[in-house]
Structure 1
Amino acid sequence: MAKDLFYSLDLNLLRTFLVLSQELNMRKASQRLFVSQPAISQALQKLRNHFGDELFVKVPKGLTATPFAEQLATSITPLLDGLASELNKSDLFDPKEINYPIKIAVSPIVLTCLSGSLFHRIKEQAPNCTLELIGWNHATMEDIQRDQVLIGIGYEQDAMLNVYEQKVAVLTGKIIVRKDHPIKTNPVSPQDMVGYEIASIITPGWNDNFSVAAEIMKRAGFEAKIGFRSEFALAAVSVAQHTDMYIPHSNLFPIEQFPALKMLDVIVNDSYMDTPLFCYYHSKYRRNPLVTWIAEQIAAVLNEQTSR
């Protein structure tokens, strides 16, 4: 009779297998599972004996998965995520009971405008939690996959396995310039911006190698030049305050905090420029009350900031 691979397996080992398949590193896996590296090695040996496969092979920078391990991870991840979601569901969710860190990654163009308001709103309802706001970077989507970041907030990204996107706002494009900038018209069109350089805010993984504003100018038939680029929104603000450069931004920008600047409407082809903003989180949390609550707080703060 063939061996029953399910009922003869300690299911705790599957957690180790999944984390190893995600991290491909014994040390990182041990840190995530809060066990020693020898314990990880012992669990891996049991898994190898159980499945009759090496599963993970050492390489210079860690581990690489065998074809069998890759296929197994792909097959069982949705099943275990669904089980985790069901076990973590609670009809009695109360934000006041949150007494652990919540890590949220925020794109640079949003971080400066959202961080304080979001912190105050969440702390009002969950006073015992620790809110960790970090900048969006190239690894954020993978960190969401690995449960190292709970939620990310940013513009639309390429789809990734097990990462769910939820639209939380639609931002309207604006241009930020200094108060005494030579441009006096409002709204402005691409033609009005000819001759002025762009101070571009970089969102890693989204516009690393291009400027959306420059692309819009080129499509309209006008030359565009990027004079400054930075992942730090306040650096672009400082440049705009002291030059004729302009910052492509949105109605999320807290213009009232910068009296030396003014915000201009943008019209392209007789229309305002609208861009959706998304929350990203692991698909296993789609019905999780904590994640649902956080997404609601983010959407509420965004609505307050953009409708002021």
Structure 2
Amino acid sequence: MSTPFKRLDLNLLKVLKVLIDVQNTRKTSELLFTSQPSISRSLQKLRVHFDDELFIRSQHGLEPTEKLLELKQTLMPIFQQLEFALEPSETFDPMKLEGTINVAINGFIANSVSAQLTHILFTRAPQVKVNIVDWGSQTYEHLTSGEIDIGINYYPLNLSKQVYQKKVATDGFILLCRKGHPLANKSLEKYQGETLALASLMVADWNDTVAFAPQALATRGIQSEIKVRSTYLHSLLTIVKESNVLFPCSQLLASSLSDEFALVEFPSLQNMPNGDIGLSISRKHRNQPKIRWLESCIEEVFKQ
């Protein structure tokens, strides 16, 4: 088996990196200030070296093969580290930044910060594309591999020391219900009615193994049970609007919703998460100028 960094020209890896980002030989030639035939020749050398087509042409451009997706996850982050190590950090200019910025965000938080974060990134790095994904079961692996640049979730998460975590804001939790719900705008302080039906948004690495709300409500003698769990936020919100299900959710999320919803007041509860929000960044990528800059942009969003 060949050893890419030993036998392969690093300039070919640079071509491969841009091809992965733009998936078009013409655009790649323009970005690298060379001819399209030259890019095609480089791609052919890469195909021979890796013994794989790497890209398959389709009506949408170049589609990656399984082999290329594997290279993207393993080889490209290493090459990117080399680029940043060889290029002084003071030369970093987000106006010249190209490619895709990948951010994973907890569904509770995404509604409130995604638009503002995207606006900042497009303003300061107009040539980038932004890919915002839900925090899922593979997010930890994608952070450590560099496939995801940065994550935003509640803090702290039970992750290995390969991931650096940093608190940037504090959220809180409330009970959301439909307008017209029997408990809308009322308090649960002395509630002794029937068992409350709850909905729960599942977030990997945070509440995928335990639902906080029933345990917390039980400390005040309030019986409840999770009637529906989902990773799809908008599905849960639709269910809440069309039923008597209550939705324990973040204050950030509630503040971004329409007036179709109401709140249920409830007393201070033990065993509920503190609501701190943090950034998650791969330690081996954290000092890259791009990641440092992205970290500062996200912190600015929460300060505003």
Task: Give the TM-score normalised by structure 1.
Answer: 0.66
**Structure-1 separation of matches of 2:254 and 2:173:** 13
Deviation (angstroms), 1:240: 1.0
**Structure-2 separation of matches of 1:249 and 1:193:** 22
1:195-221 residue CA offsets vs partner (Å, 9 max, x unmatched):
321111111232223311122123444
1:85-105 residue CA offsets vs partner (Å, 9 max, x unmatched):
654551243321112111111
**Structure-1 separation of matches of 2:6 and 2:194:** 61
Deviation (angstroms), 1:112: 2.9
The aligned counterpart of 2:250 is 250
CA distance 1:257–1:144, shift in 2 (3 Å): same
**Contact 1:252 1:302 survives alignment (8 Å):** no
1:99-114 superposed matches below 5 A: 99-114=98-113
Q: SS at the partner of 1:181?
A: coil
The aligned counterpart of 1:173 is 173
CA distance 1:87–1:142, shift in 2 (3 Å): same
The aligned counterpart of 1:65 is none
CA distance 1:40–1:93, shift in 2 (3 Å): same
The aligned counterpart of 1:58 is none
Q: Does 1:140 align with 2:133?
A: no
**Contact 2:216 2:270 survives alignment (8 Å):** no
The aligned counterpart of 1:229 is 229
**Structure-1 separation of matches of 2:190 and 2:123:** 43
Deviation (angstroms), 1:290: 2.0
**Structure-2 separation of matches of 1:286 and 1:13:** 26
Q: How many residues align?
A: 243
**Structure-2 separation of matches of 1:247 and 1:287:** 39
1:92-121 residue CA offsets vs partner (Å, 9 max, x unmatched):
433211121111111222223332222122
Deviation (angstroms), 1:12: 3.2
Deviation (angstroms), 1:172: 1.2
Read off the aligned partner of 1:12 and give its amino acid letter. F
The aligned counterpart of 2:195 is 195
1:31-60 residue CA offsets vs partner (Å, 9 max, x unmatched):
99x98587469xxxxxxxxxxxxxxxxxxx
CA distance 1:273–1:190, shift in 2 (3 Å): farther
Q: Does 1:91 align with 2:90?
A: yes
**Structure-2 separation of matches of 1:141 and 1:193:** 41
Read off the aligned partner of 2:176 and give its amino acid letter. I
Of the structure 1 ranges 85-94 and 248-257, higher mean CA displacement relative to structure 2 is found in 85-94
Q: Does 1:278 align with 2:278?
A: yes
**Structure-2 separation of matches of 1:158 and 1:187:** 33
Read off the aligned partner of 1:96 and give its amino acid letter. M
Read off the aligned partner of 1:114 and give its amino acid letter. V
1:1-308 superposed matches below 5 A: 12-13=5-6, 36=46, 39=49, 86-87=85-86, 90-155=89-154, 156-185=156-185, 188-189=188-189, 191=191, 195-255=195-255, 257-264=257-264, 266-269=266-269, 274-304=274-304
Deviation (angstroms), 1:235: 0.9
Q: SS at the partner of 2:181?
A: coil
Read off the aligned partner of 2:278 and give its amino acid letter. F
**Structure-2 separation of matches of 1:183 and 1:136:** 31
**Contact 2:84 2:289 survives alignment (8 Å):** no
Deviation (angstroms), 1:269: 4.8
**Contact 2:198 2:225 survives alignment (8 Å):** yes
**Contact 1:84 1:284 survives alignment (8 Å):** no
**Contact 1:201 1:233 survives alignment (8 Å):** yes
Read off the aligned partner of 2:212 and give its amino acid letter. V
Deviation (angstroms), 1:234: 0.9
**Structure-1 separation of matches of 2:299 and 2:192:** 33
**Structure-1 separation of matches of 2:268 and 2:194:** 14
Of the structure 1 ranges 231-240 and 185-194, higher mean CA displacement relative to structure 2 is found in 185-194
C-alpha RMSD of the superposition: 3.6
**Contact 2:184 2:263 survives alignment (8 Å):** no
CA distance 1:189–1:39, shift in 2 (3 Å): farther
Deviation (angstroms), 1:222: 3.4
1:116-153 residue CA offsets vs partner (Å, 9 max, x unmatched):
22212211221111001111111110111111111111
**Structure-2 separation of matches of 1:192 and 1:95:** 57
Read off the aligned partner of 1:143 and give its amino acid letter. H
**Structure-1 separation of matches of 2:148 and 2:254:** 26
